[in-house]
Structure 1
Amino acid sequence: MTVAEIGLGLQSDKRPGDYARLARRAERHGFDVLSVFGDLMYQPPIFPLLEMAAATERVRLGAACLNPYSLAPYEIAGQVAALDLASNGRAYLGLARGTWLGAVGIAQPRPPTALAEAVEVVYRLLGGDTDGFEGEVFRLEPGTRLRYAVHRPRPPLLLGAWGPKGAALAGRVAEEIKVGGSANPAMVPLIRERVRAGALEAGRDPGDVGIVLGAVTVVDTDGVAARARARTEVAMYLAVVAELDPTAHVPSDLLARVKGLVDEGGHRAAGELIPDDLLDLFAFSGTPDQVAAQAQALLDAGVRRVEFGTPHGLDDDRGVDLLGSAVLPMLDRAAAGRRPGP
């Protein structure tokens, strides 16, 4: 039987000490994974992750996700090696193509090739392979190696992807695929089929690749206030991910209005345009009962992990506490094990 994991995703916008405090609370409540987003212009994820590693003993930790356009693969290898060492083997490697990089003048050509080669380079370095690598995007001269010891040669890989090519790559090389910014159960069978294509091509069991869905989360006993906050928080992500979900059918005029307001800094006004049914596809929000029902729908659809994303509640600590004390106990985490394999 597969028992699903429940995780928290944190934005890297906090003060020193906040991450350790929240991590300890999350571990006490029974969360399995703590992720830190790698969003543009926020603190680099390695800072909060190292702080959380020192404050915890059990939870898995990783960035969701780093990208090989703004951070070279040898630097990615170094960061995941540092986190794995600091956490005594609890790190995962999270990679994605990245978003919003045009704002800093970084192009993102050939994402499937860049991601696949980044994976190859990172694991060659962590594994001590000195044969060299000659790719289309990245290369290693023969004899190139890390000049420090690593804890594990292959921390598990999570790829962030929505589309067929990214999901197929996850099927070929990853342990997990994360569909970031989605709380939509209808995406699960679609991602499963896309992963299946790549897994079978590589001779892997498609069931070995866990599907992770995560999104903005706001829980509070005041469900109306929680949903209002979630609308504001999700607006910036909706402008990116809505077009990636072929099952959501977001009206193009609504999406254009949301994008326009977000570009002008009007996140609250943009959020007010989002109707209830659409909000529930891209965020977990409301009372503990409402949030638990949304998460359970994903578990019933067969996800391996649900990730509750920032800001968690009307304030950080209360949100984490409500998720841990009121939402987690309502979830049937064995539901994923009752689904037929891909």
Structure 2
Amino acid sequence: MTVEIGLGLQSDKPAGAYARLARAAEAHGFDVLTVFGDLMYQPPIFPLLEMAQATERVRLGAACLNPYSMAPYEIAGQIAALDLASHGRAYLGLARGTWLGAVGLPQPRPLTTIEEAVQVVYRLLRGDRSGFTGRVFSLEAGTALRYDVQRPDPPLLLGAWGPQGAALAGRIADEIKVGGSANPDMVPVIRERLRAGAEKAGRDVSDVGIVLGAVTVVDTDGEAARAKARTEVAMYLAVVAELDPTVVLPDDLVKRVGELVDAGEDEAAGRLIPDDVLDRFAFSGTPEQVAVQAQALIDAGVRRVEFGTPHGLTDERGVDLLGSAVLPLLRR
């Protein structure tokens, strides 16, 4: 099995920064560049198109778009545009989305909504004019995109942790991403959750690649890197900790961390996070420490490791160290 190493970027940078980071990442030998689709950040299509023009080899995609804030025909248009700009290097990432209540968007029937969105997107990309009638989405017969597409079937990634989402990925996806995890113990859990859907669809569970990605902070000053990672993890520990059935946290840790985060004391919240908990939810430390964590995921059977924002004490320094000092340790 070929294992990919990727970078996940937050869409909070000025024009031009994405191209610089993408060129550096491709030169170092990274395989995939992902842009997060988080609420109130720049829409991922902007940085992805900029990176497509600056690169020739890496795969590109958003992880993830969601069908509550973006209609399936618009998702089809964006993935078609990225695939055209990258000459066939795009992948489509979909998930239910998070924190959409802040903009007044309810998220009913998430599994049905995602599955039907996939149906609509790929019917449009394939030029299927037969129409579609679902419980959430529909296409009238004869409805079609009015432009040519690069490929009718760019790979599909679903973002999910839970049994039902993973089973759906097992039925229909090329990859599943478990975001916010650096925990090798989650890999066999996700594989079994995939298996339920894969077997139902007559697929082999190995057909679906498992992707784990998390906050990454690497620096030659390992303690400074881990301190910054603790602060980052504190802000989402409450979300991911309850999703990981393999982790047992100290009593009241999530509550105490959450109270400090709510009070704006992120660094103090991070200092409460023990080393073993930090290593489940982030890649952090020296290049050697980060490589050990990534290798544990590879040994557990992931198809892709994704090093997420902020990468280092600065973006450029982090990407450079990941490429020059971590990648060589994973590919010897």
After TM superposition, give the deviation of residue 252 of structure 1 in Å. 5.6
2:128 aligned partner, one-letter code: D
* SS class of match (1:244): coil
After TM superposition, give the deviation of residue 332 of structure 1 in Å. 4.5
Structure-2 separation of matches of 1:293 and 1:108: 38
After TM superposition, give the deviation of residue 68 of structure 1 in Å. 0.5
Within a 5 Å distance, the mapping from 1:312-331 to structure 2 comes to 312-331=311-330
1:114 aligned partner, one-letter code: T
Closer/same/farther in 2, CA of residues 222 and 199 from structure 1, 3 Å limit: same
After TM superposition, give the deviation of residue 251 of structure 1 in Å. 3.9
RMSD: 1.1
Matching of residue 278 in structure 1 with residue 277 in structure 2: yes
Task: Between 255-264 and 209-218, report the one with greater CA deviation.
Answer: 255-264
Structure-2 separation of matches of 1:194 and 1:332: 29
**1:187 counterpart residue number:** 186
Structure-2 separation of matches of 1:136 and 1:154: 23
Structure-1 separation of matches of 2:267 and 2:99: 20
Matching of residue 100 in structure 1 with residue 114 in structure 2: no
* SS class of match (2:178): strand
Structure-1 separation of matches of 2:248 and 2:292: 22
Within a 5 Å distance, the mapping from 1:85-234 to structure 2 comes to 85-234=84-233
Task: Between 260-269 and 116-125, report the one with greater CA deviation.
Answer: 260-269
2:115 aligned partner, one-letter code: A
1:135 aligned partner, one-letter code: G
* Identity score, percent: 80
**1:13 counterpart residue number:** 12
* SS class of match (1:239): helix
| 8 Å Cα contact 1:235/1:258 also seen in 2 | yes
2:50 aligned partner, one-letter code: E
2:38 aligned partner, one-letter code: D
Matching of residue 259 in structure 1 with residue 258 in structure 2: yes
1:152 aligned partner, one-letter code: R
After TM superposition, give the deviation of residue 105 of structure 1 in Å. 1.2
* SS class of match (2:242): helix
Structure-2 separation of matches of 1:332 and 1:20: 25
Closer/same/farther in 2, CA of residues 101 and 252 from structure 1, 3 Å limit: farther
| 8 Å Cα contact 1:220/1:322 also seen in 2 | yes
1:99 aligned partner, one-letter code: T
| 8 Å Cα contact 1:296/1:332 also seen in 2 | no
After TM superposition, give the deviation of residue 6 of structure 1 in Å. 0.1
Structure-1 separation of matches of 2:138 and 2:41: 29
**1:298 counterpart residue number:** 297
Task: Between 123-132 and 220-229, report the one with greater CA deviation.
Answer: 123-132
**2:2 counterpart residue number:** 3
Structure-2 separation of matches of 1:27 and 1:274: 34
CA distances 1:18-49 after superposition (whole Å, capped 9, x unpaired):
00000000000000000000011100000000
Detail structure 1 runs of 4+ shifted over 6 Å in the superposition: none
| 8 Å Cα contact 1:158/1:178 also seen in 2 | yes
Structure-1 separation of matches of 2:42 and 2:258: 24
Structure-2 separation of matches of 1:80 and 1:270: 38
CA distances 1:36-80 after superposition (whole Å, capped 9, x unpaired):
000111000000000000000000000000011111111111110
Structure 1 residue runs without a partner (length 5+): 334-342
Structure-2 separation of matches of 1:149 and 1:296: 41
After TM superposition, give the deviation of residue 139 of structure 1 in Å. 1.0
Instruction: Report the count of equivalent residues.
Output: 332
Matching of residue 37 in structure 1 with residue 24 in structure 2: no
Task: Between 249-258 and 147-156, report the one with greater CA deviation.
Answer: 249-258
